[in-house]
Amino acid sequence: MHGTESPSDWVQRWAHLAQKGSTVLDVACGAGRHMQFFKQLGHPCTGIDRSAEALSLAKSHGQVVEADIENGPWPLAGQQFGGVVVTNYLWRPLMPAILQSLLPGGLLIYETFSAGHEKIGKPSRPDFLLKPGELLQTFAPLRIIAYEDGYWHPTPKCVQRIVAVKQDNDSERQFGLSSR
């Protein structure tokens, strides 16, 4: 079942940047592997997914919301989080809601499949594969901390990954960023 494997190496690498005790939203959380990881770091978590079966496991790691976010309205409209995590999931119409879900100073960690992956396996439909530089373009309003785009081993896959912060004065101090 999706979401029972180990947390993404990318998420583990950058999770320390989430502000202490901030709430974290896991989009398309599956069974909640990233909710569990962030909960262990002291973050209250909310996970959203359409699978009731997966959410029955995720609920032990925080609040869960069952919703079909591809065919229905965004159920968390107006709610904001100190962190948003998305892995192995792409639904382009949802990108504005993801941006709006970040509090000022909030951390975005996003990792999913990109063009080229169709030569390796699934997903293979262009609708589910990021175009070159797409995460950079989509999240341009945020301060980019890290970005990768390429082919990765040991499990062959083509992915894009981004870590970004919704800037405010506190986040600039927290991350040692300067507008100079």
* Rounded mean pLDDT, 89-112: 96
CB 145 within 8 A of CB 105: no
Determine the Cα–Cα distance for residues 16 and 74; give it in Å rounded to an integer.
28
CB 61 within 8 A of CB 47: yes
CB 81 within 8 A of CB 24: yes
pLDDT (0 to 100) of residue 179: 47
Question: For 122-179, what is each residue's pLDDT tens digit?
Answer: 876 778 888 999 999 999 999 999 999 988 777 788 889 999 999 986 655 555 554 4
* Rounded mean pLDDT, 72-81: 96
CB 167 within 8 A of CB 104: yes
The angle subtended at Cα 44 by Cα 41 and Cα 49, nearest 5°, is: 110
Helices (H) and strands (E) in the chain, counts: 6, 7
Which domains are seen in the chain, by residue range? 9-174 (3.40.50.150)
Give which of 66, 17, 25 is closest to 44, Cα–Cα. Answer: 25
pLDDT (0 to 100) of residue 118: 62
Tell me how far CA of residue 101 lies from CA of 4, 79, 107, in angstroms.
25, 6, 10
pLDDT (0 to 100) of residue 51: 96
2 or 91, greater pLDDT:
91
- The pTM of this model reads 0.89
